[in-house]
Amino acid sequence: MPCIMNVMKRRTPQEKKKLSYERDRRNVYGEAPHAARKSIPLRKALRNRANRHYQNQQLSYLGPTPDEALSDELGSLTRHRVAQYWQKYPDAPLGEVVGRKSERRAVMREKGGRKALITVRRLKIEE
């Protein structure tokens, strides 16, 4: 039986660049990419740790062995508060980032340097 391969459509360089601008993302939060790779798992771990800490505080019962009613009450205490979670904000599409950068460059060329860029930003905010 002959092997049927998935034939990919050949794309022109212009199509590839357009797809790249749509699919690729850049971190615009303002931190270094290496810091983001470290801080995302850290934030998730800290949030989960805080949730576990809260549940352990609710379960810290030092009295005699609890009867059925008391154990149900203690169990419901841990589920009374909804567990909080941490969520990452999505990065911006590469096309938007490049567009903003080119706008900034054009303003700096026209008006003369970074000082003009700050003035133009203030005018846009006031409008």
What confidence tens digit (pLDDT) does each residue in 31-68 have? 787 888 888 899 999 999 988 888 788 777 666 666 77
Q: Name the pTM for this structure.
A: 0.53
- Please measure the distance between the N-terminal and C-terminal CA atoms of the chain and give it in whole angstroms: 69
Mean pLDDT of 26-30: 83
Q: What percent of the chain has pLDDT over 90?
A: 23
pLDDT the model gives residue 46: 92
pLDDT the model gives residue 125: 67
CB-count exposure of residue 118 (10 Å: 0-12, 13-18, 19+) = exposed
Give the residue, 42 or 115, on which the prediction is more confident: 42
